[in-house]
Structure 1
Amino acid sequence: MVFYPPPWVPKLPFDPPDSVTIGDFMRSEIYGRRPIAKSRNPFTCGLTGKTYTVAESNRRSDLIAQALSKVMGWEPNADSPWDKVIGVFSFNTIDYLSVLHAVHRLSGIATPANVAYSASELEHQLRSSGAKALFTCVPVLETALKAAKAVGIPEDKIFIMDLPHHSQKLPFKTVEDLIEMGHSVPDLEPLKWVKGQGARQVAFLCYSSGTSGLPKAVMISHQNVIANTMQYCIFEDVSRKQYGVETQAVLGLLPFSHIYGLVVVAHSAPWRGDEVIVLPRFELTEYLQAIERFKINHVLVVPPIVVRMLSSKDVLKKYDLSSVRMMFTGAAPLGKETAEELLQLYPKWHLGQGYGLTETSTVVCSTSEHDICQGTSGSLIPGTRAKVVDPDGKEITEYGKRGELFVQSPSVTLGYLNNEKASAEAFVWDEDGRWLRTGDEVIVTKTDSGNEHISIVDRLKELIKVKGHQVAPAELEAHLLAHPAVDDCAVIAVPDARDGEVPKAFVVTPASMASRKDEDMAAEIIKHVQDHKAHYKWLKGGIEFIDAIPKSPSGKILRRLLRDKEKGARRVKGAKM
Structure 2
Amino acid sequence: MVFYPPPWVPKLPFEPPDSVTIGEFMRSEIYGRCPIAKSRNPFTCGLTGKTYTVTESHARSNSIAKALSKILGWEPNLDSPWDKVIAMFSFNTIDYLGVLHAVHRLNGIATPANVAYSASELEHQLRSSGAKALFTCVPVLETALKAAKAVGIPEDKIFIMDLPHHSQKPPFKTVDDLVEMGHSVPELEPLKWVKGQGARQVAFLCYSSGTSGLPKAVMISHRNVIANTMQYCIFEDVARKKLGVVTQVVLGLLPFSHIYGLVVVAHGATWRGDEVVVLPKFELTEYLQAIERFKINHLLVVPPIVIRMLSSKDTLRKYDLSSVRLLFTGAAPLGKETAEELLRVYPTWHIAQGYGMTESATVVCSTSEHDICQGTSGSLIPGTRAKVVDADGKEITEYGKPGELFVQSPSVTLGYLNNEKATAEAFVWDEDGRWLRTGDEVIVTKSPNGHEHITIVDRLKELIKVKGHQVAPAELEAHLLTHPAVDDCAVIAVPDERDGEVPKAFVVTPASMASRKDEEIAAEIIKHVQDHKAHYKWLRGGIEFIDAIPKSPSGKILRRLLRDREKEARRAKGAKL
**Which category describes the TM-score, using the shorter chain as reference length?**
over 0.9
Matching residue of 1:318 = 318
User: CA offsets, 1:482-531, max 9 Å, x none?
Assistant: 00000000000000000000000000000011000000000000000000
Whole-angstrom CA distance in 1 between matches of 2:46 and 2:86:
27
Note if 1:370 corresponds to 2:389.
no
Whole-angstrom CA distance in 2 between matches of 1:356 and 1:447:
20
Whole-angstrom CA distance in 2 between matches of 1:91 and 1:448:
41
> Aligned ranges for residues 344-363 of structure 1 at < 5 Å?
344-363=344-363
Whole-angstrom CA distance in 1 between matches of 2:167 and 2:201:
36
Q: Secondary structure at the match of 2:206?
A: strand
> Aligned ranges for residues 261-410 of structure 1 at < 5 Å?
261-410=261-410
Displacement, 1:217? 0.1
Note if 1:255 corresponds to 2:255.
yes
Displacement, 1:167? 1.7
Amino acid at match of 1:3: F
> Aligned ranges for residues 163-242 of structure 1 at < 5 Å?
163-242=163-242
Q: Secondary structure at the match of 2:396?
A: coil
Whole-angstrom CA distance in 2 between matches of 1:46 and 1:404:
40
Matching residue of 1:26 = 26
Q: Secondary structure at the match of 1:267?
A: helix
Displacement, 1:170? 1.2
Q: Secondary structure at the match of 2:299?
A: strand
Task: Please list every run of 5 or more consecutive structure 1 residues that lacks an aligned counterpart in the other structure.
Answer: none
Displacement, 1:562? 0.2
Q: Secondary structure at the match of 1:30?
A: helix
Whole-angstrom CA distance in 2 between matches of 1:464 and 1:139:
26
Displacement, 1:448? 1.8
Whole-angstrom CA distance in 2 between matches of 1:426 and 1:78:
33
Whole-angstrom CA distance in 2 between matches of 1:446 and 1:312:
34
User: CA offsets, 1:237-294, max 9 Å, x none?
Assistant: 0000000000000000000000000000000001000000000000000000000000
Whole-angstrom CA distance in 2 between matches of 1:391 and 1:80:
42
Whole-angstrom CA distance in 2 between matches of 1:169 and 1:133:
19
Whole-angstrom CA distance in 1 between matches of 2:341 and 2:140:
36
Whole-angstrom CA distance in 1 between matches of 2:171 and 2:282:
29
Displacement, 1:569? 0.2
Whole-angstrom CA distance in 1 between matches of 2:226 and 2:291:
28
Q: Secondary structure at the match of 1:12?
A: coil
Whole-angstrom CA distance in 2 between matches of 1:270 and 1:557:
44
Note if 1:506 corresponds to 2:543.
no
Whole-angstrom CA distance in 1 between matches of 2:427 and 2:202:
17
Matching residue of 2:83 = 83
> Aligned ranges for residues 537-576 of structure 1 at < 5 Å?
537-576=537-576
Matching residue of 1:58 = 58
Displacement, 1:307? 0.2
Matching residue of 2:149 = 149
Displacement, 1:189? 0.2
Note if 1:108 corresponds to 2:108.
yes
Whole-angstrom CA distance in 2 between matches of 1:562 and 1:107:
48
Q: Secondary structure at the match of 2:190?
A: coil
User: CA offsets, 1:293-312, max 9 Å, x none?
Assistant: 00000000000000000000
Q: Secondary structure at the match of 2:218?
A: strand
Amino acid at match of 1:251: L
Whole-angstrom CA distance in 1 between matches of 2:467 and 2:39:
32
Matching residue of 1:40 = 40
Whole-angstrom CA distance in 2 between matches of 1:45 and 1:185:
28
Whole-angstrom CA distance in 2 between matches of 1:218 and 1:166:
32
Whole-angstrom CA distance in 2 between matches of 1:448 and 1:518:
53
Amino acid at match of 2:573: K
Matching residue of 2:443 = 443
Amino acid at match of 1:48: T
Amino acid at match of 2:416: Y
Q: Contact 2:371/2:447 (CA < 8 Å) preserved in 1?
A: no
Amino acid at match of 2:234: I
Matching residue of 1:491 = 491
Displacement, 1:168? 1.3
* Structure 1 length-normalised TM: 1.00
User: CA offsets, 1:369-422, max 9 Å, x none?
Assistant: 000000000000000000000000000000000000000000000000000000
Q: Secondary structure at the match of 1:391?
A: coil
User: CA offsets, 1:101-154, max 9 Å, x none?
Assistant: 000000000000000000000000000000000000000000000000000000
Note if 1:421 corresponds to 2:400.
no
Q: Secondary structure at the match of 2:204?
A: strand
Q: Contact 2:308/2:498 (CA < 8 Å) preserved in 1?
A: yes
Amino acid at match of 1:113: A
Whole-angstrom CA distance in 2 between matches of 1:70 and 1:233:
36
When structure 1 is superposed on structure 2, of 164-173 and 386-395 the one drifting more is: 164-173
Q: Secondary structure at the match of 1:494?
A: strand
Matching residue of 1:96 = 96
User: CA offsets, 1:75-118, max 9 Å, x none?
Assistant: 00000000000000000000000000000000000000000000
Whole-angstrom CA distance in 1 between matches of 2:521 and 2:412:
45
Amino acid at match of 1:558: L
Whole-angstrom CA distance in 2 between matches of 1:478 and 1:169:
39
Amino acid at match of 2:467: K
Identity of aligned residues (%): 89
User: CA offsets, 1:169-220, max 9 Å, x none?
Assistant: 2110000111111111110000000000000000000000001000000000
Task: Please list every run of 5 or more consecutive structure 2 residues that lacks an aligned counterpart in the other structure.
Answer: none
Amino acid at match of 1:572: A
Q: Contact 2:373/2:448 (CA < 8 Å) preserved in 1?
A: no
Displacement, 1:442? 0.2
User: CA offsets, 1:405-440, max 9 Å, x none?
Assistant: 000000000000000000000000000000000000
Whole-angstrom CA distance in 2 between matches of 1:297 and 1:353:
16
Displacement, 1:542? 0.2
Q: Secondary structure at the match of 1:268?
A: helix
Amino acid at match of 2:84: K
Whole-angstrom CA distance in 2 between matches of 1:333 and 1:10:
26
Q: Secondary structure at the match of 1:394?
A: coil
Q: Secondary structure at the match of 2:462?
A: coil
Whole-angstrom CA distance in 2 between matches of 1:125 and 1:571:
41
Amino acid at match of 1:96: Y
Q: Secondary structure at the match of 1:224?
A: helix
Amino acid at match of 2:106: L
Amino acid at match of 1:476: L
Displacement, 1:352? 0.3
Q: Secondary structure at the match of 2:300?
A: strand
